[in-house]
Structure 1
Amino acid sequence: MTDSLFSPMTIRDTEIRNRVMMSPMCQYSAEEGLATDWHRVHLGSRAVGGAGLVMAEATAVEPRGRITPEDLGIWSDEHAEALAPIAEFVAEQGATPAIQLAHAGRKASTTRPWDEGGPLQPDEGGWETIAPSDVPYPFENPPKTRRMTKGDIDDVIEAFADAAERALDAGFEVAEVHAAHGYLLHEFLSPVANERDDEYGGSFENRTRLVREVVEAVREVWPDDKPVFVRISGTDWIDDRPSWDREQSARLGPLLIEAGADLIDVSSGGIHRDQDLPHAGPNYQVPLAEAVRREGEVPVAAVGKITEPEQADALVRNDRADLVALGRELLRNPYWTLEAAHELGVDVEWPPQYRRGRFE
C-alpha cells in the first residue's frame, strides 16, 4: 500500500499519526531561556491543529549556544521543568512532542530579528562566541569568536547529552540534533567556517567527526524505543570556494544513521552571507532531501515552500520524503493539517471542542 500524507509512521517504537511535521522555528520569546505561555500556545495550537509531529524550536544546550538572549534553553533542570507542561499538552492532543537541541556557535550573541538581528556586544549583554576557527560570522562588527579547544569540544558533546536527558525527563519523544543553518555543528561540517588542521578539520571524515560524536552521545542517553533526528543543511549554496554540498550530505546520511540517528531533516544554507540561493519556489529544497534519501537509503524530512495539501501528499506518495516539514505555512495557519485532510478526502479526528467547526 502506498504511503500518503496521512499514513502513520512508526520509527523505532514511536508512532507518528501522520507525515506532517511542524518545523522548529525560533520564537525569541523565552525568559532567561525558560519557556513561557507563548511557547505553550504556539506549539500546542499546532498539535490541536492536527500535525503529526510538533518540534520545539532550536533549544540551546548551554547559555553561550543561544542565538539571542531570548532563545529557549535546556541547560538546567529548571528549563526542562518549564518545557514539561508543553510536551505533555502536545502529547495529549495526539501529536508527537519533539525538540531540537542546538548550539549557535559563531552565530550566537545577536539581537532578535525584529530588533535588527545584528551582533550583540558584551557590553550590551552579549558574549564571546565559539566556533571551529577564530573566524567570526560576517556580521558588521561581530563579537569576538574563539577557536574551540579539545576541551571545549568535549564540553559541547557533554552539553548535548545532558540536554537530551533533560528533554527526555520533560516528556519529549523525539530529539533532533541541529547541524544546519550555519550554527555550530554545521560550522564544523563546512570548509567555509572550518579552517582546522586537527582531527576535527580538513578531510570529510574529520569535519563530520563532531556531529557524529554528538549523535552518538545523544543516542546513548536516549531510549532505544524513541527516535533521534538530525537536521542538516543539504548545501551551503556556495560554489566559488570549498563548501558543504549535496554530495557530502548524501555521504553523511548513512554515517549519522550508523551513529544512532533515525531520520535526516534536510534544509539548506545559513553558513555565510555569500550564499547564492536559487529562486525559492515550491519544493526548492526537496531535491536535497531526495539525494540523501536515495543515495544513502536514509529516511528524510523535506522542507521548504511546501504549502499545498496535494503538494505535500505527493512528496510522500512518490517516495520523495518520509515526513513533510512545514514552517511558515503553519505560522499562517495552525489548522493547516485538519484542512488538508478535508481537501484530500481523509477522515481524521478533530478535538471535541472544535468538532462543531468541522467541514461538512
Structure 2
Amino acid sequence: MDYRFLGASGLKITEITYGNWLTHGSQVENDVATQCVNAALDAGITTFDTADAYANGAAEEVLGAALKSQRRESLEIFTKVYWPVGPKGPNDTGLSRKHIMEGINGSLCRLGMDYVDLYQAHRYDHQTPLEETIQAFADVVRSGKALYIGVSEWSADQLREGQRLAQAAGFSLVSNQPQYSALWRVIEEQVVPASKELGLSQVVWSPMGQGVLSGKYLPGQPAPAGSRATDEKGGQRTIERFMDETVLERVQKLRPIADELGLKMSQLAIAWVLQNPNVATALVGASRPEQVAENVKASGVKIPAELMTAIDDALGDSVERDPSKTVSPEERPA
C-alpha cells in the first residue's frame, strides 16, 4: 500500500482509504463490517473515513469498535460534521459553532477516541457566517480534538475564502472531499487548480461511480440482486444518475482496457482517480471482506497515457464536467 501526503501538511495517508458510508450501521451487519475493517488492515490500509451522519451515528460506533484493539497512533481517522444527526432539531445540523463543538464531542464519544486526525466540513453552510465556522474549527484544533481540518464538496471560491480565514486563525485547510471518477469530473476545471494553489489535496469519494464503473451493471439487463441499484435504503437513489443505457454501454468499452492492464474494472476505476496528482486518496467501501482485498490492488498502478486517452474516448460525452455541479444546499438540511 502506497502513502501520499495530505495537502501541504506532513500527514501521510494510505492512497486507498476505507470509507463506511452506506455500509456500516445500515447495509451490512456489524460482524461483517468488522470483517471488512480487518480486511482493510490486513491489506495495509491505515486510513479510515466516516461521518456523524452515516446511519445517524451508528457508522462511527461500528468503526470505533472494529478498531478498538489497534494502536491509535498507527491509524488516520477522518470524520465529518454538517448533515442532521441525533433527533435532528434546528441546531443538530449545519456548521454553527454550537453544532461543530457538539459534533466533535459526539463523534469522539461514538468512535471511542480522544482525537481524530481529520475533521471535515461535510458541506458548505450558507446560513452560518464562514468566520464563525472557521473560528470553531480553529478551537477544535487548539483543543487537540482534531489534528487537521478539511472540507467536502466546496467550490473553488469557497476554498479560497475558507483558506484565507483559516490561515488568519492560525491553521490551514488541508483537504477537500469531492465526488470524483472517470464519469464525474466536475472538480477538474476549477476546484483542482484552486486546491493546488492553496495547498489542499482531494480525498475523493465514489471513485467507482457508485459502482457503475465496476462493470457489473449491464445494459439491457436488470441490476444484480443485492447491488446498490436495488438498495431502497439509500443506495438506489445515489446511483440512479449513472443508470442510463448509454452510460452502461460505454462503461463496457472499458473492459478491454482493464484486461490489457491485468486489472478488474473496479481496480481500473480506482487506479484512474489516483493518476491525478492532486488526489491524496480514494475512498473505497465494502460490503464483503473480499471486496477490500480486490480494491487495494489498484494501489501503485500506473496507467499509460495512451490508455488514459482510450478511457476518455470510450466514455465520450457521458462524462459530467460542469463545475457548477459542485454545490451545497442553500438552506441547512432538516
TM-score if structure 1 supplies the norm length?
Answer: 0.51
Q: Which has the higher contact order (CA 8 A, sep 6+)?
A: 2
Corresponding residue number in structure 2 for 1:58: 51
Does the Cα contact within 8 Å between 2:115 and 2:144 map onto a contact in 1?
A: no
Partner of 2:67, secondary structure, is: helix
Corresponding residue number in structure 2 for 1:295: 197
Match for 1:40: what amino acid?
A: T
Which one has a larger percent helix, Structure 1 or Structure 2? 2
TM-score if structure 2 supplies the norm length?
Answer: 0.54
Superposition pairs of residues 1-360 of structure 1, within 5 angstroms: 6-9=2-5, 14-16=11-13, 18-27=14-23, 29=25, 36-55=30-49, 57-59=50-52, 66=53, 71-72=57-58, 84-89=64-69, 96-105=75-84, 127=87, 129-130=89-90, 153-163=96-106, 166=109, 170=113, 173-180=116-123, 186=124, 188=125, 190=126, 194=127, 200=128, 206=129, 208-222=130-144, 227-234=147-154, 245-256=155-166, 259=169, 260-267=171-178, 281-287=183-189, 289-305=191-207, 308=268, 310-316=271-277, 320-321=278-279, 323-327=280-284, 333-341=291-299, 343-344=301-302
Partner of 1:98, secondary structure, is: strand
Distance 2:274 2:66 in 1: 28
Corresponding residue number in structure 2 for 1:118: none
Corresponding residue number in structure 1 for 2:317: none
- TM-superposed deviation, 1:95: 6.5
Does the Cα contact within 8 Å between 1:58 and 1:72 map onto a contact in 2?
A: no
- TM-superposed deviation, 1:232: 2.0
Distance 1:281 1:129 in 2: 36
Partner of 1:326, secondary structure, is: strand
Corresponding residue number in structure 1 for 2:324: none
% same residue: 7
Distance 1:288 1:47 in 2: 35
- TM-superposed deviation, 1:212: 0.8
- TM-superposed deviation, 1:286: 4.5
Match for 1:214: what amino acid?
A: A
Stretch of structure 1 that moved more, 326-335 or 213-222: 326-335
Does the Cα contact within 8 Å between 1:263 and 1:301 map onto a contact in 2?
A: no
Distance 1:175 1:159 in 2: 16
- TM-superposed deviation, 1:233: 1.4
Does the Cα contact within 8 Å between 2:79 and 2:119 map onto a contact in 1?
A: yes
Structure 1 unaligned spans of 5+: 60-65, 110-126, 132-145, 181-185, 195-199, 201-205, 235-244, 269-277, 346-360
Deviation sequence 1:200-244 (CA, Å, 0-9, x none): 4xxxxx3x1333133113202227xx732323213xxxxxxxxxx
Partner of 1:175, secondary structure, is: strand
Distance 2:34 2:198 in 1: 36
Does the Cα contact within 8 Å between 1:24 and 1:100 map onto a contact in 2?
A: no
Count matched residues. Answer: 239
Does the Cα contact within 8 Å between 2:83 and 2:93 map onto a contact in 1?
A: no
Match for 1:334: what amino acid?
A: V
Distance 2:9 2:147 in 1: 6
CA RMSD in angstroms comes to 4.4
